Amino acid sequence: MDTQIMNIVDQPQTLEMSNIPAETVGDVHVERPRMTARNVNVFYGDKCAIDDVTLDIAEKQVISFIGPSGCGKSTFLRCLNRMNDTIDICRIEGTIALDGQDIYAPQVDVVPLRARVGMVFQKPNPFPKSIYDNVAYGPRIHGLASSRTELNDIVENSLVRAGLWDEVKDRLTQPGTGLSGGQQQRLCIARTIAVSPEVILMDEPCSALDPIATARIEELIHELSAEFTIVIVTHSMQQAARVSQRTAYFHLGKLVEVGETEQIFTKPQHEMTHNYITGRFG
C-alpha cells in the first residue's frame, strides 16, 4: 500500500528527470517547409527555456504545439516572428528560417518579417480604436493600400474571411473594445490577415473564450488553413486534434515528439506523449 502511494507521488518526477529523449521522436522534417527551426535554444537570462529544438513547419497546414504549462511552447512560437525581441533578457541560439532565409540574420528587419508572420494572442487585444481602424491599422502602417477604396476592400475582405463582416458591417466606426470576447478575437484575426501574411501564429487563441466562440474560431482556423500556414499553441488536446494536421509535443523546453495529429493522438511513440494525452499529468 505504502509503496503504491510512493509511486504515484514519485511518478511525475521520474518522468521529468529521466524520460525526456535526447532526440525528438517522430519526423521533424516535412516535404514543403515554410519555416524551419534548427537546433534552437532560448535563454531567459541564465534560464534555458527552449533546449535544442529542430522542427519544420509545412506550408498551408495547421501545426499545433501542445504540452504542459511552462513547457516552452509559447516561447518557441514567439521566436517564429521574433516577438521575443521585445524582452530584454531573452537570447536565442540556432537558426530559424522563413522560406530558407534566416530570420535572425543581422540584416533582417523585424518589421517586414512580422508582416509576413502575423500573430494572434491569447487574450483578445483590439486597439482602443474603431473596428475599421483596427483592421486598417496594419495595411496603413505598411502602406499596402494605394487608395481609400483599396483599403476599404482590404478591411471588408479581411472581416469577411474572419467571419465577422455580417456582425459588424453596420458599426465599423464603433470601438473594437465594445465587441464580445469571441468577436474581439475574430477582429484580431481579421486585423492579422489584413496584412496578407504567409504564416499566422496563434498563442492559445481560444483560452479566454466560451465554447461557442471557441467553435467559431476553430472553424475559422480550418477555413484559413487553405491559404495560410498556421501555427497554434493550445492547452486543449481536443482542439489540437480538431484543427491541426500535425502536432508537436513539448516538455520542459524540449520537443519530445512530433508527427501527424492522428498518429500522435492514437499511437504516440513516446511514453511521455502517451502519458500527457491520456491525462496522466499536465
Q: Determine, following the binding rule CB under 8 A, whether residue 173 of this chain makes contact with another protein.
A: no
Q: Determine, following the binding rule CB under 8 A, whether residue 195 of this chain makes contact with another protein.
A: yes
Q: Determine, following the binding rule CB under 8 A, whether residue 116 of this chain makes contact with another protein.
A: yes
Q: Which is nearer to another protein, 129 or 235 (CB)?
A: 129
Our CA dihedral for 221, 73, 27, 103, rounded to 10 degrees, sits at 80
Cell numbers at residue 3, please?
Answer: 509503496
Q: Determine, following the binding rule CB under 8 A, whether residue 222 of this chain makes contact with another protein.
A: no
Q: Determine, following the binding rule CB under 8 A, whether residue 61 of this chain makes contact with another protein.
A: no
* Distance from C-alpha of 70 to C-alpha of 268, rounded to nearest angstrom: 21
Q: Site size for another protein, by CB under 8 A?
A: 42
Q: Which is nearer to another protein, 35 or 154 (CB)?
A: 154
Q: Are 12 and 275 in contact, with CB atoms under 8 Å apart? A: no
Instruction: Tell me how far the alpha carbon of residue 163 is from its chain's centroid.
Output: 20
Q: Which is nearer to another protein, 43 or 121 (CB)?
A: 121
Least CB distance from residue 64 to another protein, whole Å?
A: 19
Residue 51, H or E segment: strand 47-58
Least CB distance from residue 280 to another protein, whole Å?
A: 34
Q: Are 220 and 62 in contact, with CB atoms under 8 Å apart? A: no
The pattern of x and - marking residues 123 through 162 that bind another protein according to CB under 8 A reads x-xxxxx-------xx--xxxx--------xx-xx--xx-
Least CB distance from residue 216 to another protein, whole Å?
A: 18
Beta-sheet pairing, 117-120 with 199-203: parallel
Q: Which residue in the block uniquely carries the three cell numbers 524520460?
A: 19
* Distance from C-alpha of 267 to C-alpha of 25, rounded to nearest angstrom: 12
Q: E strands, 99-187, where?
A: 101-102, 117-120
Residues at the site binding another protein, with contacts judged by CB under 8 A: 81, 83, 86, 88, 109-116, 118-121, 123, 125-129, 137-138, 141-144, 153-154, 156-157, 160-161, 165, 188, 191-192, 195-198
